[in-house]
Structure 1
């Protein structure tokens, strides 16, 4: 029986000595099937060479993290210890409530083959062999959530997103511009047309040779796909954007079909499901009343 280990907040040592820190419990498991509740029909994406028919060909490189907090599983991440970024995080959207927590970023000691981690190790100068450290994000990039803070059902869900195994180096204007608007739009769609429930997978496409601190891959693109429905009524769409500087006020990401996403990234994100692959959510359904503030369309048209 696997015992959850502790993931302590990443803080300078001087601060650690002043605070009582609550542990984040997580599990590094062998397969996606061991972390249930976050994939549509419990079926993981198909990613050639990475995740095929639910199997991980290179288990020495790709690690499944069942992200757990207060003994409750919150979402699942497939993590690449070579690039030191997640391949994707998958989660079930159940609506959103609760305040934004005051929280600090954390790491995953199980990826370092440690039974525990001392507070002395949790300072910003520590470098880890198999994952990003706090210092890897200093100065240049945002810590870009894959499972967004704003999608957490409650405060505990929101706290669970603050782990560097759920983050990638993301250009600030992209993270705070078109990507944030996309997240707001999708959240509104799920609330309005999916009864506040749906499945999402958000990932990163690694760049060939761009690294932060010669350690952490800076992905050239981020992507996200969602699906929701029951019976004969299903909705699905995908988005992606390049991880580059942009005008944060004017760039909008265009909604794409799952087929277009598959052709672009060679990923079947919802295999064997009823999710529509050849159509997106109709644009007529994106024109929400102004008070919804969904940020779906700029002047009722999209830019690529």
Structure 2
């Protein structure tokens, strides 16, 4: 029985680490991922975060665009769930980010000394002043598997502990209240890196956290953006304004967080 074991499938079959989100498009509005072309010189991998359920079936739980250059996620995308679950932080890593032929399951800390070339590991955070800041937070999960799956280092970035435990936590709670009345809600949460600031000379510290929500209710689509410096308060703004800000911060052009041509997106 593979209950509660994190799965990473073989790279050439149903690999969860790869060049697209074909296995987990259900976490995006109309199955369309954000339009995001990384800056020059920044490498990314698409991760369909998954677990085995208690019937030995693969359960995809959310999607992450991960920067192997910065060793932090650029964003995680998920379907909001009304929370009713406790928390357990058992941190995992993705062996196949460093070795395509690695073991087929996501593994706990201390997997192998060779792990870490393309990703953060637990030892990077030891002795640092930063928390492991979730992009997909436990507060927004509604089942045990999703809760466990959030505690992977590919869903976390170094976050100022005061911001993480106060302003950002309060913001996550406020989002719950905003989205509880939706028929369905899609969420994309991301990190703007501070490229001149790294822990352990390896893992890029987050400069800003951002979140975009898309609420579907009675056939009406409503979007909301949020933007928070790593040591300050979270501000609300339109998704259009958020995208403009992210274009500037990532030094890219024409980011679209919910680029769904069938509905005109969520703005």
Short-chain TM bin:
0.7 to 0.9
Pair 1:67-2:49 in alignment: yes
**Residue 168 of structure 1 is aligned with which of 151, 157, 178?**
157
Pair 1:264-2:245 in alignment: yes
**Number of aligned pairs?**
242
In structure 1, the residue matched to 2:13 is: none
Q: TM-score w.r.t. structure 2 length?
A: 0.82
Displacement of 1:135 after TM fit?
1.1
Mapped to 2, the partners of 1:170 and 1:153 lie a distance apart of 24
Q: Structure 2: any 5+ residue segments left out of the alignment?
A: 9-15, 53-57, 248-254
SS, match of residue 132 in structure 1: coil
**Within-5 A mapping of 1:111-126:** 111-113=97-99, 114-116=101-103, 122-123=109-110, 126=113
Q: Is the 8 A contact 2:92 2:107 kept in 1?
A: no
Greater strand share, structure number: 2
Pair 1:106-2:106 in alignment: no
Mapped to 1, the partners of 2:27 and 2:157 lie a distance apart of 20
Q: Could you say if the C-alpha distance between residues 106 and 263 of structure 1 is closer, same or farther in structure 2, counting changes exceeding 3 Å?
A: same
Mapped to 1, the partners of 2:242 and 2:7 lie a distance apart of 34
SS, match of residue 220 in structure 1: strand
Q: TM-score w.r.t. structure 1 length?
A: 0.73
Mapped to 1, the partners of 2:91 and 2:206 lie a distance apart of 20
Q: Is the 8 A contact 2:25 2:33 kept in 1?
A: no
In structure 2, the residue matched to 1:299 is: none
Displacement of 1:98 after TM fit?
2.7
Q: Could you say if the C-alpha distance between residues 33 and 231 of structure 1 is closer, same or farther in structure 2, counting changes exceeding 3 Å?
A: farther
Q: Is the 8 A contact 2:63 2:78 kept in 1?
A: yes
Mapped to 2, the partners of 1:119 and 1:186 lie a distance apart of 30
Q: Structure 1: any 5+ residue segments left out of the alignment?
A: 1-5, 7-20, 51-56, 278-304
Larger RCO (alpha carbons 8 Å, 6+ apart): 2
Task: Report the structure number with the largest CA radius of gyration.
Answer: 1
Question: Which stretch of structure 1 is more off in the superposition, 126-135 or 160-169?
Answer: 126-135
Q: Is the 8 A contact 1:228 1:275 kept in 2?
A: no
Pair 1:23-2:5 in alignment: yes
